[in-house]
Structure 1
Amino acid sequence: MPTPSTPLGEFDLIGKYFTRPVQRVALGVGDDCALLQPAPGMQLAVSSDMLVEGRHFLSTVAPERLGHKALAVNLSDLAACGARPLAFTLALSMPRVDERFLEGFSRGLFALAEAHGCELAGGDTTQGPLNICITVFGEVPPGQALLRSGARAGDDVYVSGTVGDARLALEAFRGTVALAGDHFEQARVAMEQPQPRVALGLALRGIASSAIDVSDGLLGDLRHILQRSNVGATLEVDRLPRTAVLAAQPLALQRECTLAGGDDYELVFTAAPAQAEAVQAAARQAATPVTRIGRIEAGSVLVLVDAQGQTVADHFGSFDHFKS
C-alpha cells in the first residue's frame, strides 16, 4: 500500500521549487538577505510589481504563463529604464501548497529569468490569497537610464510591437467579443504571456529622450511622460500598430483596445527627429519593430487625430487600481 506523501512545508517548498545555483548574485536564496554585486561603476535600477488573483490575472490562467507574466511585468520596467536585468526576489502568497501549480509556475518563471540572465535572489512565502510580488534589480551606467522626464517639443513618439490584443482577450473573457479559437488564443497569449522589451530598452540608451512601458493603457502611460516632461503631444490614433485579429474588429473597439487597453508591456518612447535612423537601427538590433505614432508639442495638451488629421474626442481612460 503506497505511503501518503508528506505535505511540503514553507522551507521544503522553497528548496524544491525556488532554489537554484546563482552566478551573478553574490549570495542568493537561503540567508536573511541576498547580496548583489553590480558591475563596477553601475547604478542599481529597482522596481516592484504585485499581481493579485482576480485583479491582475484570471484563475483560469495556466501556472506556467502566470510565472512568466509575474516576472515579465517587472522586466518590462527595467526595459523602460534601459537597465540590464541582474536579479529578483519573489514574495508568494497562496491558499495551500499545490505542487502542480508550483511546478508550472516555477517553470515559466525560470524560463523567462534564464532568457534574460536574471537570477532569483530570495523572497518569502506564506499562506493566504494567491498574490505574487516580485522586486527586480537591474544595472545601468550612470547618466544612461531612460527616464520619463526627457521628452522635448519636436520629438517623435514611438511604440514598439503591437498594442491592444491583451484588452481584446479580456473582452472575449467578459463575453463582449466573440473570437475564433485561434484568434482567441493569439489574443490570450498577448494578455497572459507578454514579452518584455529588454533588448530594445538597452538599444535605445543614448537615443531615446524618454520612455515608459505600457501597463495601464497607452494614453494613460504616455500622459506620465508628458506630465514629467512638461510637454504636450499630438497622437495619430490610426497609426497605432495592431494585429490582424484586432484590425478585424469595429473601429471603436480597436481604438478602445489600443489606446486604453493596458497589459501590453510594449515601450512608448520619444526621440529627436535627427535620431530616426538610429531608432530604426536599435529596433533591428533588438528584433522588435517600432512605429512612429505622433510628436511632442510645446504646452501641456494631448491631442488625438485620425488618419485624415481630424480631431478624435478623448474619452479614453486608463487602468487605476483604486478607480477601475
Structure 2
Amino acid sequence: MLSRVTGSMKVHWELRSLYWHVLVSLMKLACIRIACAVTGKKIVVVSLYEHIGDIIACEPVIRHLKQSKKIHLTWAINTSYAELVEKHPAVDTVLRLQSYSEWVFLQNILKSTMKLVDQLVDLHIDSRRCKKYGFKLKHKNTSRHHEYFTSNSLLQAFTRSAGLPELNEAPVLYLDEDQMPPFPTKPYIVVHTQSNNPHKDWQPAKWTQLCLELSALGFYVVEVGLNRQIETRSPGFIDFTGKRSLAQIGQLIKTSAFFIGVDSGFAHMANALGVEGRVLMGHYVTGKFHFNYYNPFAGKYADPSYIIYTKHGSLQELEVNEVIDNLLPVLQPQLVTSSPAIKQQTVVD
C-alpha cells in the first residue's frame, strides 16, 4: 500500500514539474513577443527535440526560414543538445526542453492561441511518443517511421514531415570556439564506434584491429562516443570517450585528418564540418522494414564514395580488410609530408 502511495506521489510531482517547465517556456515566448512587438519581427518556433544526427541534418531549415530579416527564430530542443544550435548566427533564441512532452503541451497551447507565435515548424516524425511521460502528437502531412530511410536524406524526411519544401542542402555546424580540447600531434583519425541502435554497429574486435592497422600507418586514432569499444594499449590510441561536450568533440573532429564511424550523430557532425571520412553501413532492419544501401546524408557524405557498405547483410558482415582497402588510397597521400613515428600521447581533461 505504501509503495502505491509513494509511486502515486512521484508521478504527481513529475507532472507538476512538467507543467512548471511548460509555464516557464510560455513566459519566455511571451517576453519574445513583447520584444518583437517593438522590432516588428515575426516569431517562428522550430522544434526538433533530438537526436544529434537529426538536429545537425536539419540545419538547412534554419537558413530556409531565415531568408527574411524580419524573422525571430526560436529552436525548441532537448537541453542536452542545445549547444548544437545555440551558436548558429541565425538562431535568435534556444528554448531548452526537459522532455518531449513539454513540446507536446507547448504546441497544443500555441496552436490554440497563435498570439504568442506566428509560425510553428514541427520537424518530428509522426506518432513520436515521449519516453518519460508517454504523451505524443499526431501530425498531418508527415513522414512515418517506415519512411524514415526511404527518402534521399533525413533532411528531406523531416522537412516533408513539417510541411516544408523538401530541402536537400548540406548542413553547417557552428561550434563554441572556446571549448577547444587538447589535440594530439597530427595526423590523427577520429573514430566513432557505437550508435544508439545496435543494428548499426560493428564488432569491437574489428574496431580494435582497424585501430592497430591505422596506427601502423602512422596515425593516432582517437575514439569518441559514450562508451569505449576499442581495447588496445597501443601508444597510437587515445581514448576520448565518456561524457564530453558536443563542442569539444566537434572541434576534435573538425581538426582531424579523417573521420571513420558508424551511421550516427558524429558522422553527421563530420559531414557538417566538411571533414573527409568514411561511414560504415550495412543493411538496416527495424521491425518488419528492411533498408538496403540507404544514405541519410545531404551534402558531402551524400556521395556514395563516402560510405563503405557491406555487400550483403548487416554491418557485422563487413571485414576489416575491406575497410582498409577502401581507406588506403585516401589516407596514404596525407602521410607524405607527415612523420609516421608515433609517440606516447596522453589526453588530459
TM-score normalized by the length of structure 2: 0.29
Q: Which has the higher strand share?
A: 1
Q: Which has the higher helix share?
A: 2
Larger Rg: 2
TM-score normalized by the length of structure 1: 0.30
> Bigger relative contact order, structure 1 or 2, given CA contacts below 8 A and separation 6+?
1
